[in-house]
């Protein structure tokens, strides 16, 4: 499904799985700290990773909690191309990020280590703590489009009249009929 061009001021972004490569951090920490080695990103075919990996839910939750609490200390990396494209977008408009994370501080700390000051100062982060309440926050920010890796979130946004674009990941394939992007280069083409 084609996506119309979107003005930089009208688009928002999810954080984990779109801006930050949370899966890389999860896989690395699972191996380094818990001995669960050999996991590949394409094996993570469900947002609830314990549904697709032979790993207890408590362990998966512990790894994700480490990443949520200390994104810098766990070595969370940006998605390829995210730093450059968000830098370009920030010169045109304030970048809006809405995350289901419950706390904004670890995201701010991470942004300050990954982006130069003129860029991170132009990134507004809303940490709302609930995957199913993003529509309200996206509307409050006055956004007409949003990119998220959670298909269910994108479906909710679409039903609310927001242009929802799925950032393609193994866990959202074949779960929607919405437009998708696979790279930040594609996002650049939509917005710049």
Q: What is the pLDDT of residue 130?
A: 86
Sequence-ordered list of residues with C-beta below 8 angstroms from that of 150, at least 6 positions apart, any chain: 14, 17, 47, 100, 131, 172
Q: How far apart are the first and last CA of the chain?
A: 20
Alpha-helical segments (H) within the chain: 22-34, 57-69, 82-90, 105-114, 117-120, 134-140, 151-159, 184-191
Mean pLDDT of the chain: 95
Burial string for 21-50 (b: 16+ CB within 10 Å, else e) reads bbbebbbbbbeeeeebeebeeeebbebebe
Place of tokens 């982060």: 125
Distance separating alpha carbons of residues 192 and 187, to the nearest angstrom: 8
Burial of 164 per CB tally in 10 Å (0-12, 13-18, 19+): buried
Distance separating alpha carbons of residues 141 and 136, to the nearest angstrom: 9
DSSP state of 49: G
Per-residue pLDDT reduced to its tens digit, 23-60:
999 999 999 999 999 999 999 999 889 889 988 879 99
Distance separating alpha carbons of residues 140 and 6, to the nearest angstrom: 18
Parallel, antiparallel or unpaired: strands 145-148 and 180-181:
unpaired
Distance separating alpha carbons of residues 27 and 75, to the nearest angstrom: 12
Per-residue pLDDT reduced to its tens digit, 136-183:
999 999 999 999 999 999 999 999 999 999 999 999 988 899 999 999
Torsion of CA 13, 15, 20, 25, to 10 degrees: -150
User: Do 77 and 28 touch, CB atoms closer than 8 A?
Assistant: no
Specify the pTM: 0.95
- Check whether 92 has a pLDDT greater than 80: yes
pLDDT band at 1 (very low <50, low <70, confident <90, very high): low
């Amino acid at each position: 499904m084609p996506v119309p061009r979107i003005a930089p001021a009208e688009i928002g972004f999810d954080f984990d799985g779109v801006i930050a490569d949370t899966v890389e951090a999860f896989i690395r920490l699972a191996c380094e700290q818990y001995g669960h080695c050999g996991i590949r990103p394409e094996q993570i075919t469900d947002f609830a990773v314990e549904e697709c990996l032979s790993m207890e839910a408590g362990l998966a939750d512990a790894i994700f909690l480490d990443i949520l609490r200390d994104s810098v200390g766990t070595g969370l990396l940006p998605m390829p191309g995210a730093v450059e494209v968000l830098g370009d977008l920030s010169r045109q408009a304030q970048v809006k990020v809405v995350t289901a994370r419950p706390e904004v501080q670890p995201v701010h700390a991470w942004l300050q280590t990954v982006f130069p000051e003129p860029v991170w100062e132009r990134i507004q982060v809303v940490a709302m703590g609930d995957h199913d309440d993003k529509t309200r926050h996206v509307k409050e920010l006055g956004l007409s489009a949003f990119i998220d890796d959670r298909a269910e979130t994108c479906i909710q946004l679409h039903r609310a009249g927001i242009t929802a674009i799925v950032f393609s990941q193994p866990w959202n394939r074949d779960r929607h009929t919405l437009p998708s992007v696979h790279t930040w280069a594609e996002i650049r083409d939509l917005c710049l």
